[in-house]
Structure 1
């Protein structure tokens, strides 16, 4: 039985043996396509701010956001996270979330780690429900500047006010931060690379990146353009860092809305076989 389609923060879904918080906006999956939002490595449902509701109103799609285990008010994750935690999330959890929500046709919209998870899922799992990807600040391999930024975040968490800020959003704040930070700063993680998932994508992609993103350069976007076999659109934003949807909301939302509208028109077109 599909979960209750509501933005009541008390609601939970079950996936891979974990209880996860979720919220929904707009029409239910049997009435319209769904945008499924996958948050960043330190994100949660609440940290999307007003974007889910705005996208539901602008696109006519339903929107589902959930917090992965270890984040928000979801169950805690077991630490240390394995270095392939994004692949495990894609292959072991995401499909069960889509099943629990009764998703029929969807676009996966991911930010940072969430964009990586979305790409791995679409590139490795045969799921015809997934019709497109919106990838905000994705990463497919490590870069020296990104690893340096994560180490700096570790200092801010230990000595600054980052822990206090994150504790507003995460019940298990040390689990949320350390699970992310300790995986990325592990000596073996420098070799992490999941770019081969791009080779297997056969659905349209919108990739959005801030030119000043401290966690990833435009090389991540070039990797998509160089490897993908399906249509890809890119939006590169000047004077923008790691969170285009928060730093440059107007152009980011407009690009997402236009992408979804085009996908919807294509889905509705009648194809003549004569």
Structure 2
């Protein structure tokens, strides 16, 4: 994705450079959607989906790389993420970034770990609504097995070289994510209590062939928040925005139209 910029936030007592890109920024009256990437994602790994999404929905967008990813400040080689790493992204990084970029009450669009972070943020902060794709509320055996497979692929195939197209430091991105997900201390991680507190409207999407989680993830969201809209997609894996972009965009468009109010986010 071209046109990326950088903003510095202060996190854990250190300056952290955040790579980001604005989409359709000229339409200042349009709703703003913030895109939150997956556990191995970045600004560039979204490819053209956010631009297509914003053009078709007539909204503005913000895409950014979390610390440790893309062109943002990488994770130190000796830094190990703790089981609360997604809570810290939602409670510390996002508020600092939104303050630096003067963002208030956005729509959130999160994929995988980014979906979990979106839910955690929405549990404690005002949002217009949240759209989450293949989010995690708890750790499943299927997830651990697939992440173990990703570790073996990183060690034995060209996965590291392929990730280097999207990250300045692929080891920072991969081992930060892989290390904590495979840490036995992470097996008890669970955000159901936080999700139950969300008051904003929710759209939850998952593929029937998701190799990193079962439909129980999004169905749990609906049990906790009965007004949640679900979209369960056939012929779709862990990345609905790649496998079924037309269906995802159509559902998001209907969701925003239904829940948009005259008080637009800035």
Q: Is the pair's TM-score, using the shorter chain for normalization, greater than 0.5?
A: yes
**For 1:250, which of 236, 246, 249 is the aligned residue?**
246
Residue in structure 2 matched with residue 170 of structure 1 by the alignment: 167
Task: Kindly indicate whether residue 6 of structure 2 is the aligned counterpart of residue 12 of structure 1.
Answer: yes
Q: How does 1:48-67 map to 2 (within 5 A)?
A: 48-67=46-65
- Aligned with 2:199: secondary structure? coil
- Aligned with 1:65: secondary structure? strand
Q: Cα distance, 1:40 vs. partner?
A: 0.2
- Aligned with 1:12: secondary structure? strand
Q: Deviations over 1:93-127 (max 9, x none)?
A: 1012112222234111100000000101111x2x3
Q: Deviations over 1:247-267 (max 9, x none)?
A: 111111111122122222xx0
Task: Kindly indicate whether residue 135 of structure 2 is the aligned counterpart of residue 141 of structure 1.
Answer: no
CA distance in 2, matches of 1:255, 1:68: 26
CA distance in 1, matches of 2:7, 2:49: 21
CA distance in 1, matches of 2:250, 2:82: 36
Unaligned residue ranges in structure 1 (runs of 5+): 1-5, 270-274
CA distance in 2, matches of 1:155, 1:170: 19
CA distance in 2, matches of 1:143, 1:159: 25
Residue in structure 2 matched with residue 3 of structure 1 by the alignment: none
**Matched residues, number:** 257
Once the two structures are overlaid, the 10-residue window that deviates more, 254-263 or 155-164, is 254-263
Task: Kindly indicate whether residue 213 of structure 2 is the aligned counterpart of residue 216 of structure 1.
Answer: yes
**For 1:160, which of 154, 157, 163 is the aligned residue?**
157
Q: Deviations over 1:161-209 (max 9, x none)?
A: 2111111100010010000001000111111111211111001000000
Task: Kindly indicate whether residue 108 of structure 2 is the aligned counterpart of residue 131 of structure 1.
Answer: no
Residue in structure 2 matched with residue 272 of structure 1 by the alignment: none
Residue in structure 2 matched with residue 75 of structure 1 by the alignment: 73
CA distance in 1, matches of 2:26, 2:113: 26
Unaligned residue ranges in structure 2 (runs of 5+): none
Kept in 2, the 8 Å contact 1:156–1:162? The answer is yes
Once the two structures are overlaid, the 10-residue window that deviates more, 100-109 or 57-66, is 100-109
Kept in 2, the 8 Å contact 1:112–1:138? The answer is yes
- Aligned with 1:200: secondary structure? coil
Q: CA 1:28–1:7 in 2, change beyond 3 Å: closer, same or farther?
A: farther
- Aligned with 2:187: secondary structure? helix
CA distance in 1, matches of 2:200, 2:154: 38
**TM-score scaled to structure 1, two decimals?**
0.90
Kept in 2, the 8 Å contact 1:29–1:104? The answer is no
Segments of 4+ moved more than 4 angstroms: none
CA distance in 2, matches of 1:246, 1:18: 30
